[in-house]
Structure 1
C-alpha cells in the first residue's frame, strides 16, 4: 500500500487473507515499472522481517521450521514461528500467479516487452496453469485449504484478464462521447417531490442542479432517499445537493474518468469542456458503455467502421 502511494495511486482497501494482504488500488499503475515496484515491495517487507528475525532463531531453522504442538511456549518459539511464517509468505507470494505479487511481477516484466493487454493474457494463462497444478496437488493430498487457494487463484486470474480488457476498451473512448446528452436537469428551487417523480418516470438516477449555464451541484437518488428518511418534508434540492462534486474534462478517456470517480469514492462526475458544463456521467453509465463497446469489439461486423 505504501509503495502504491509513492507512485501516486491511492489504495481503496486492503483485504487480509491467510495467504497475505491484497491491496485494491483505485486505478492501475501507469507503467510496468510502477507495477513492478508495487509488486516487489510486498515480498520485500517479508524478506526484511525474516532477516531481522534470523539471528534470534535456532540454527536448525535454515528454511521453514514451524514449531510443533508439543513445544513449550517461549519467546524463542514465537520468533521461530514468525520467521517461518515470513519465509513461507515470501515463497508463496512469489509464485507467478494472480493476484499474488509474483503474478504482478510477471505481468510487469512481460509488459516491458509487450503491450499491457498481451502481457496480462500471458500472465493470466500462466496463473491459471499454476492454479491447476496447486489444485491437482490439493486433490491428491486431500488438502481442502490448498484446493480453495487454487480456486481463488484461478478465478482471480480470470478477473484480472477481464479487467485488463475493460481498461483497454475504455481507454479507446472519450467521456465526451458517452455522457448523457438528454438528461433532465433541476433548478435550485425544485423540491425533492419533483426528483422522486423524475426518478420514477425517467429512470434517471442522477440530476444536475443548474442555474443558467452554471452547475451548482448534483442530486442523486441516494441523496433523495437519505433526505426523505431523515426528514419527510418536501425540501428544496439546494438543501440536499452535493456541491463538492467530481469534475472531469470531456477529453478524458472513460478509463481515466472511472479511475477519477473511484479515487474520490464517488459514483458520478460532472463533464466539462473548459468552463462549460456538458452533463453527468456515472459509474453505471460507464459500465453500460463498456458492455456496448465490448459487444461491438467482439462482433466487428456490426461496427460502422467495417
Structure 2
C-alpha cells in the first residue's frame, strides 16, 4: 500500500504502517497532553500502541491460518481503522473461509483470557472505561480485546462476522447467492447503525457508511469472480494497444498519446520485455516539466504489476484492486497484452449476459 512504512516482517509477511496511522498517534498524543499533561499523553500512546499490536496479532491469526490452505499474504498494513492483510486469493471452500475468518477474533479472545488470568480477576468496569487512565492498563487492554472480538463478529462485511455468515450460507447455497444475502444483511445492519448514530454518536454514521460501501463492494467482487470462473487473463486482456519504447523521448510519448484513447501505456525494451507503465497523467507531467527531447524513462512506473497470460481471471480480479492496469506477459517476460478495469468489466458484462458465451482469445 502506498504511503506506508515497513516496520519488519514475520514468516514472509511484511508489517507496514500507513502514514495516516502516525497522524492518528500524533493527534491522540496531542489531545491527551492538552487535557492531562505529559503523563496522560504517554499513557494514551502506550494504550493505543498496545491495542494496535493486538490488531496485528489478530491479522496474523488470519494470515497463518490462510497459509495452511496455500493462501499467501505478503503484507499487513496498520490503518487508523485497523489492520488490513492482503491475501493473494480468497479461500476456495466455505470451511476454509470459516476457519480463516474466526482465527482473528479467536486471537483476541486468547489475549483477553491470558491478561485476565495474569491479573487474577475479571474487571467488568474496564469494558466501559477504556479511556480512563485510572483503570489498570492491562485490564483495559483485556477489555479492548474482548470488544475487538465481539465487534469483528458482527455479521456484516468487512468484519469477520460477515465472512463467517457467508461461509455458513455457502455450505448450503451457491457462493454468489450466499454473498448477496450476507451483503444484504450487512447493509441492513449499516442502516440500523446509521439511524442510531443520528440520535446519538455521529461516529456511528461514518461507521455505517463504511460498512454499507464494504458490503456492496464485496457483493460486486464476488459476482465478478463467479462470472469469470474458468476464464484466463488472456480472455480479458487488451491486445490492440500502443506501446512506448524504453528509449523514447517525451515528444514520441506525446505523439503516441495523441494517436490513441488509451489511459495506460506499456513501456517495452528492444526485445519486447515490459519495463513499466505510463499513464496519460505521467506523460502530461513530463511534458510540463521537461523539454521535448528529454527521455521519458524517468517517468515510467517500474513497479507496475504484471500477470501471466494463462493466470486464472477470477483470482486476478481479487488482486486487481489498486492498480489501474496490469501488464500481461508470456513465459519470457515479453508483453502480450494489457489488463485494464474496462477490459475486465466488459468480460464480466458479457459473461453475466451470456453465461454460455465462449471466449476464444488464445
TM-score interval w.r.t. the shorter chain? 0.7 to 0.9
Residue 336 of structure 2 aligns to a residue whose secondary structure is: strand
Residue in 2 that maps onto 1:35: 97
Is the Cα–Cα contact under 8 Å of residues 180 and 281 in structure 1 kept in the other structure?
yes
What are the equivalent positions in structure 2 for 1:18-29 lying under 5 Å apart? 21-23=82-84, 25=86, 27-29=88-90
Residue in 1 that maps onto 2:148: 89
- Does residue 1:254 correspond to 2:254, yes or no? no
Whole-angstrom distance in 1 between the partners of 2:159 and 2:331 = 42
- Does residue 1:54 correspond to 2:129, yes or no? no
What are the equivalent positions in structure 2 for 1:149-298 lying under 5 Å apart? 149-204=207-262, 205-211=264-270, 214-215=272-273, 217-221=275-279, 224=283, 232=291, 234-236=293-295, 246-259=305-318, 267-275=324-332, 277=334, 279-282=336-339, 285=340, 287-297=341-351
Select between 227-236 and 149-158 the one with higher mean Cα deviation: 227-236
Larger Rg: 1
* TM-score normalised per structure 2: 0.65
Whole-angstrom distance in 1 between the partners of 2:150 and 2:181 = 22
- C-alpha RMSD over aligned residues: 3.8
Whole-angstrom distance in 2 between the partners of 1:87 and 1:64 = 11
Residue in 1 that maps onto 2:177: 118
Is the Cα–Cα contact under 8 Å of residues 268 and 335 in structure 2 kept in the other structure?
no
Segments of structure 2 that go 5 or more residues without pairing to the other structure are 1-58
Residue in 2 that maps onto 1:80: 139
| 1:94 Cα offset (Å) | 1.3
Of 110, 113, 128 in structure 1, the residue corresponding to residue 187 of structure 2 is: 128
Residue 171 of structure 1 aligns to a residue whose secondary structure is: coil
Residue 104 of structure 1 aligns to a residue whose secondary structure is: helix
Residue in 2 that maps onto 1:16: 80
| 1:178 Cα offset (Å) | 2.7
| 1:3 Cα offset (Å) | 3.9
Q: RCO higher in 1 or 2 (8 Å CA, sep ≥ 6)? A: 1
| 1:161 Cα offset (Å) | 0.9
Change (3 A) 1:92 1:214: closer
* TM-score normalised per structure 1: 0.75
Change (3 A) 1:27 1:258: same
| 1:249 Cα offset (Å) | 2.7
| 1:215 Cα offset (Å) | 2.2
